[in-house]
Structure 1
Amino acid sequence: MRVSVPGIPQAILSSAGSTKTISPAAAVERIAEFLAPGNAALITGAGVSVDSGIRAYRGKDGRYMNPNYKPIFYHELIDETSKGFAFRQRYWLRSYLGYPPVRDALPNTTHFALAALQYSSSITQLITQNVDGLHHKAFSDVWNVEKMSERILELHGTLHRVHCKFGHTVDRESFQDRLSAANPQWKAFADNIERTGEQPRTNPDGDVALEGVSYNDFVVPECPSCMLEGKRNSIHKPEVIFFGESIPQDVKERSFLDVAKCDRLFIVGTTLATYSAFRLLKHALELKKPVLYLNLGPTRADGITEVEKIELSSSLLLRDVVRALLGTRAQDDFPIHKMLTSGIHNPPDDSDDDRAPRAAG
């Protein structure tokens, strides 16, 4: 089976930098004008979470931060042979160490500004490619789980749940505890990371970079629910869509419906390199819906004349967009005011550049 990691076509990367320049003030005015009629759908990607300290896969030039990175594909993770077992050892060790920083990450100013826009119904539906749950955290004080599930669609799943091959589901924290109990030596290693703060590079999917490490002694525990049914099974995966895995049909259908029932499409912080997201843009254009794109660097949509693009940082603009759009309500409506005064700004250090060749891990 041949599965490739999606990317931006070379022709687009080569022509990067052709976007018209616009001042931040003019950009705020334009985005507010675009969203003013309400009933907009929103698509977000990894760029939205960068200010929460979660590194994006691609840099501002649209290319992978680590060209040597080799993700584990879906067919490798679920392979029932010894080769698949080794892939799962590698995946779960790296994910065991990489999950805590994603779990503990806090929403940034962009998450809260977008939450304010959705709370005010300027944005009706949010479709995120991110698996970190930070959009949900931004709403934790004002919406319950049911409301969030109605208004936020996690297109590529979530890191916060795990299921075995027979469908038994467990929350991620409980699964982390199982991994800790089965691997006391790696639990000690993880505790040392917490004490020293020397966290390995963490990717948006919770995978970390490890060099010179053997995965052979890492134990992936068997599913206790399967054991109660008289089965032995240690094949688990997070509820994340892996490369080479199809998005569930109900999620795909809802994503198309969310775009169709809105009047316009706003896209923030994503290159749309994965087709599951890019096809939603195509769907919006087929339905003749206006599209506004806010992203730093090249995207898969560059060159599509119907797409209006603003190439500025979301953290620079979106809180001002909310104030411009909502006027006095931005101050008088307490949940919105709180959102506009909340959020961290803690992007990875500029020196954290992964372009130098290194082991894929």
Structure 2
Amino acid sequence: MRLSVPNIPPSILSKSALRKTQGVSSAEAVQRIASFLSLGHTAVLTGAGVSVDSGVKAYRGKDGRYMNPDYKPIFYQELIEDSPRGYSFRQRYWLRSYIGFLPVRRTIPNPTHHALAALQHAGVVGPLITQNVDGLHHAALRRILSEPEVDQRILELHGSIFKVNCQHGHVYPRTVFQAWLGEANPHWRTFLAELERTGAQPKTNPDGDVVLDESVSYDDFVVPHCPSCEGEGRRNSIIKPDFVFFGETIRQDVKDRSYSIVEGANRLFVIGTTLATYSAFRLLKRALELRKPVLYLNVGPTRADGLPGVDKLEIPTSAVMADVVHAVV
């Protein structure tokens, strides 16, 4: 089976390159968003665009194309392969992720995260579905609501970078696994400490994977075995982040809940995403099938461009969302 990184269909990108985008002023955008949200019972779907102002890199640029066309991600079946080849994939992934987790862990919510949290707290919008694994929506809402309430209000469609799980279902905090990686690889722990001391930051992808020099060898990097599995009499190094990899299927309960959120709302507000992944695009399709109004806030081409029933505003989220809160609340 051939796997590839999800992307916007070339037919949409080619049309986007030819069309001239009609600009919209911040004041007009704020008024249109506020009017849309003030009708109530709105579900929200977000993507990488809302986290860019927090320093989290997006996969795709304003032209809708993959920002690093030479990047070759590790696919799910490669990472979980129980063989020497699979272990080599895990060595590559976890070394890069060990270094890349540092800048992701340091990120903080930006005004768009806080604006959406305020709108949720005020009851203007309902549940929020995010494709992001950075935990920033949780961090913003956690400042005003308890953890159980936050979990009820936010669905992480693709999981979280702050947990890892093993092949047999044992789950650990990412910070704990990060410490295990450092203990097993003292040379790289020293390297990471030097990065922290100097403030240097490698080029990082949204899931915490970094770009390392081609001369780097992964052969001596040690991936720890799951201690719970060892306690059960087995050795198991098949450990992955608790988010959906390329080629991996979303859990059925998460899929069901995402549909339930869209179906239970009166309208859908899509913000900061190209919807290149079908897991998110199908939620917009479901809203349109049910004839729910859809407002789309994003800069650049998206998979939804040209679909009847989608009202799109092309303006950065940071330019309008704080003012939307004042206008509505």
TM-score normalised by length of structure 2: 0.98
Structure 2: which 5+ residue stretches go unaligned?
none
Report the secondary structure of 1:65's partner residue.
coil
Q: CA–CA distance in 1 between the matches of 2:154 and 2:20? A: 33
Of the three residues 226, 231, 245, the one matched with 1:223 is 226
Report the secondary structure of 2:303's partner residue.
coil
Q: CA–CA distance in 1 between the matches of 2:26 and 2:144? A: 30
Q: Note if contact 1:102-1:132 (Cα within 8 Å) is conserved in structure 2.
A: yes
- CA drift of 1:21 comes to 2.2
Q: CA–CA distance in 2 between the matches of 1:175 and 1:319? A: 37
Instruction: Give the AA of the match of 2:317.
Output: S
* Residue pairs, 1:311-322, within 5 angstroms: 311-322=314-325
**1:4 match:** 4
Superposed CA deviations along residues 116-146 of structure 1, whole A, max 9, x for unmatched, are 1111111101000000000011012211121
**1:191 match:** 193
Mapped pair 1:33 → 2:35: yes
Q: Note if contact 1:73-1:242 (Cα within 8 Å) is conserved in structure 2.
A: yes
Superposed CA deviations along residues 226-253 of structure 1, whole A, max 9, x for unmatched, are 1111111111001010011000000000
Instruction: Give the AA of the match of 1:319.
Output: A
Report the secondary structure of 2:265's partner residue.
coil
**2:13 match:** 13
Of the three residues 171, 177, 180, the one matched with 1:178 is 180
TM-score normalised by length of structure 1: 0.89
Superposed CA deviations along residues 50-98 of structure 1, whole A, max 9, x for unmatched, are 0001110110000011100111000000001111110000000001001
* Residue pairs, 1:58-207, within 5 angstroms: 58-207=60-209
Superposed CA deviations along residues 166-224 of structure 1, whole A, max 9, x for unmatched, are 11111000000000000000000101111112211111101001122111111001111
**1:332 match:** none
Instruction: Give the AA of the match of 1:168.
Output: H
Instruction: Give the AA of the match of 2:5.
Output: V
Q: CA–CA distance in 2 between the matches of 1:155 and 1:193? A: 32
Q: CA–CA distance in 2 between the matches of 1:23 and 1:142? A: 31
Report the number of matched residues.
Answer: 326
Q: CA–CA distance in 1 between the matches of 2:28 and 2:143? A: 32
Q: CA–CA distance in 2 between the matches of 1:228 and 1:205? A: 30
Of the three residues 245, 249, 254, the one matched with 2:252 is 249
Q: CA–CA distance in 2 between the matches of 1:18 and 1:289? A: 28
Structure 1: which 5+ residue stretches go unaligned?
327-361
Instruction: Give the AA of the match of 2:322.
Output: R
Instruction: Give the AA of the match of 1:248.
Output: R
Instruction: Give the AA of the match of 1:61.
Output: D
**1:353 match:** none
Q: Note if contact 1:19-1:310 (Cα within 8 Å) is conserved in structure 2.
A: no
Of the three residues 281, 285, 292, the one matched with 2:284 is 281
Q: CA–CA distance in 2 between the matches of 1:164 and 1:318? A: 39
Q: Note if contact 1:19-1:309 (Cα within 8 Å) is conserved in structure 2.
A: no
- Please list every run of at least 4 consecutive aligned residues from structure 1 whose deviation after the TM superposition is greater than 4 angstroms: none
Instruction: Give the AA of the match of 1:161.
Output: K
**1:259 match:** 262
Q: CA–CA distance in 2 between the matches of 1:303 and 1:112? A: 30
**2:274 match:** 271
Q: CA–CA distance in 2 between the matches of 1:74 and 1:278? A: 21
* Residue pairs, 1:345-356, within 5 angstroms: none
Report the secondary structure of 1:101's partner residue.
helix
Percent of aligned pairs with the same residue? 61
Q: What's the Cα RMSD here?
A: 0.8
Q: CA–CA distance in 1 between the matches of 2:101 and 2:289? A: 38
Instruction: Give the AA of the match of 1:147.
Output: E
